[in-house]
Amino acid sequence: MHDEIAMQIGSQRRPGTTTFESVDPYTGEGWARVPEATKADVDDAVAAARAALSGEWGSMPGRERGALLRRLGELIAEEADELAIAETRDNGKLLREMGGQVRGLPAWYDYYAGLADKIDGRVVDTGRSDYFGYVARGPVGVVAAVLPWNSPLLLLTFKLAPALAAGCTVVAKPSEHAPVSILRLAELFERAGFPPGVFNTVSGKSREVGEWLVSHEGVDRVTFTGSEATGVAVARAAAGHFAPVTLELGGKSANIVFADADLDAAANGLIAGIFAAAGQTCIAGSRALVHADVYDEVVRRVADRAARIVMGDPKEAATEMGPICFPGQLDKIRRFVDEAKATGADIVAGGGDRGMGGLFFEPTIVANIANDDPICQDEIFGPVLSVLKFADEAEAVRIANSSRYGLAAGLWTKDIQRAFRMSKALNVGTVWVNAYRTLNWTMPFGGVKASGYGRENGTEGLHEFLQDKAVWIELTGATRDPFVLG
């Protein structure tokens, strides 16, 4: 029995003329029929978003937008269990993690609801007595949001909550591997009282759906989370109609352990950084940099815990790691590990599936490698930890920054001065000190280098969806020389 899912386009629920199957990674069975959008569906979704922008939504005061955002958050809380199950059945991640993420979403909507009526400009001293000048801020317009499969609703909320607070309208394209929760979320907008067209969805297994959306001339801004290669394609497509882009891409983040660290906490942080979510997260701490004095002890502790990680049904409370999302991703993980073994790397832990078959890949630790090896330079997006040894701060910084990515880093030390020095030296968007894999609505999130550009969350995330307008008002009524700038 398949759940039947529809797209939200304006006031219409569209089931699509054709559909594709969403497959549960744990059972291997299809569980939902999802619409395949056509070019006409994409055109209609953008048109609906444009109509809402020039209609009731566009003229709505910030305070009223904020009230709708809060109501949406309340409805998400009411439907959290069902939405979380949809995510687990789509991507195979733990229900306890997906449940925690979904139940946390109302805080994002509440935070941005509080900012919706605080969007103001400024009066500018023009340096002239005959002109009054001010800067007004307003919504950038219609936003295309293209989403990944690993945390669909959380990563959508990073974009959707600030975009709505700013007064924008949104067309979202979920991943073909995990579309259901986002399509279900769209059903809550009418119940919350939003005008039609404020939030629209288009789904599809074909890459063309996303290409139609990001290249659409009716889209004013694109925001994307996903792979480096797709991010480049998205930026190029958006540039064709001069739409600015926010890109949150991949990472190869270093989790750095100094000799003075609390080794229990550090080992736990390394486990959390790479084996939570089966490593299927952009912020995965996939490179462990460990000081030579404690290297053997830290690797032993992490390997021991990795061997005891409970793999199984992601819906069961005792499970600590579920399956990989889809076969192509599993093949990629296996290929990286096999290639590392073939070139002399040591597999300290894992490397197989513990006889479970299906889409399972056990927590894996790889040692006796160099930082310029592919397993240390390329994003794997799976439960594979590369461990490297360093001698001092300078070497740790050099290794950590020797990556084309720059999303995040972890730092484990009791030396507060070192924490400040290292945080400054690491060329990344987020540094966690004696912690790893912590995010919320108040702190900006994003990367540098091949990890992308732009920021999500915090007031910085709101600014991505606003644009400034300079206004000059002549005060005297006098005329001037039309051929002189001034």
Known catalytic residues are: 248, 282
User: Residue 276 has what DSSP assignment?
Assistant: G
User: Residue 249 has what DSSP assignment?
Assistant: -
Q: How far apart are CA 310 and CA 319, in angstroms?
A: 5
CA 197 to chain CA centroid, nearest Å? 24
Q: How far apart are CA 87 and CA 89, in angstroms?
A: 5
Rg (CA), the chain: 24
| Integer angstrom CA distances of residue 19 from 1, 9, 39, 184, 465 | 15, 16, 15, 16, 32
Q: How far apart are CA 281 and CA 301, in angstroms?
A: 23
CA 389 to chain CA centroid, nearest Å? 30
Give the angle 311-312-316 at the CA atoms, nearest 5°: 115
**Start-to-end C-alpha separation, the chain:** 71
Residues 6+ apart with CB under 8 A from 3: 31, 32, 33, 180
Task: Give the number of other CB atoms < 10 A from CB of residue 303.
Answer: 19
Residues 6+ apart with CB under 8 A from 356: 311, 312
| Integer angstrom CA distances of residue 119 from 116, 249, 355, 460 | 6, 28, 56, 13
Tokens (6 digits) for 279: 């490593």
Which residue in 284, 287, 171, 175 sits closest to 225, CA to CA?
175
Residues 6+ apart with CB under 8 A from 296: none
Residues 6+ apart with CB under 8 A from 144: 46, 170, 171, 172, 173, 213, 214, 216, 219, 221, 222, 223, 243
Q: How far apart are CA 455 and CA 79, in angstroms?
A: 28
